[in-house]
């Protein structure tokens, strides 16, 4: 009996945003281990190179590309570079996100609001548009949007962030419906509380953490690697009939 090749990504080109650390780095490393050439992207190219070099040292294929997804011009420039260098894109993982303010919704700073919307909504949208054009030209692909359980159950003092993540889930369904005819699938990952620098305000605060754990049936915080397997499923042929889905990976929080 031969092993399944459903999760093989040999010959695939994958772009992971926010891949310099945390969940994005874990995703980039796993996709590379499964055979994809991974474009490691975040705002600072030095951080991208660190992850790309580690992937290459592990026997994988990777390229570092800086891109601030809150800047539309940088998105367009990045995809022009991808088109010239690779001629195709098979997998896009929209993972880069921001949450600059932790406060009561009535105290929201307008600039923090705008920054969150620019990155978490506009950035995801135009990354998906540019990726979708490349995928349409090459017979299809898979877009995975990293949203959050906050899309379903807003986090305390995370109002704008939660709203943007709800928008990402709806955006996922829009692209799934309108791009299916081009062979493009689009799905969302909804991570629960994960031990990353991004979530450090929650994970490192003992009172907040203890309260959170009472609502998580598995009674622990996730590790970034535990999100990567779900993304591999959504990126690979194993999920060939899956599109428009919001997949909870949350230790049972939303159950």
Catalytic positions, written as ranges:
161
Is 188 within 8 Å of 145 (Cβ atoms)? yes
> Cα–Cα distance between 229 and 129 in angstroms, integer?
25
In sequence order, the 6+-apart residues with CB closer than 8 A to the CB of 60 are: 29, 32, 33, 38
Number of C-beta neighbours around residue 104 at 10 A: 9
Maximum Cα interatomic distance, the chain, rounded to a whole number of Å: 61
Q: In sequence order, what E strands does 43-172 have?
A: 61-66, 91-94, 141-146
CA dihedral 88, 92, 98, 99 (to 10 degrees): 160
Is 250 within 8 Å of 192 (Cβ atoms)? yes
């Amino acid at each position: 009996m031969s092993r399944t090749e459903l999760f093989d990504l040999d010959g695939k080109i994958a772009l992971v945003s926010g891949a310099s650390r945390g969940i994005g780095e874990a995703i980039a490393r796993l996709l590379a281990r499964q055979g994809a050439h991974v474009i490691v992207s975040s705002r600072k190219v030095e951080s991208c190179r660190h992850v790309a070099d580690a992937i290459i040292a592990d026997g994988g294929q990777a390229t570092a590309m800086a891109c601030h997804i809150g800047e539309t011009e940088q998105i367009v420039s990045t995809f022009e570079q991808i088109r010239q260098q690779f001629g195709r894109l098979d997998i896009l993982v929209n993972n880069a996100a921001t949450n600059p303010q932790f406060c009561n919704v009535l105290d929201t700073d307008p600039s923090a609001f705008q920054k969150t919307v620019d990155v978490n909504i506009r950035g995801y949208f135009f990354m998906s548009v540019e990726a979708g054009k490349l995928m349409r030209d090459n017979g299809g692909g898979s877009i995975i949007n990293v949203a959050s359980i906050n899309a379903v159950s807003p986090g305390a003092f995370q109002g704008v962030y939660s709203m943007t993540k709800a928008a990402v889930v709806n955006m996922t369904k829009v692209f799934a419906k309108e791009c299916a005819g081009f062979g493009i699938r689009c799905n969302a990952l909804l991570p629960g509380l994960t031990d990353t620098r991004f979530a450090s305000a929650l994970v490192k605060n003992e009172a907040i953490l203890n309260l959170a754990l009472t609502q998580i049936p598995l009674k622990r915080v996730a590790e970034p690697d535990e999100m990567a397997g779900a993304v591999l499923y959504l990126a690979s042929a194993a999920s060939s009939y899956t599109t428009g889905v919001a997949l909870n990976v949350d230790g049972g929080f939303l159950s």
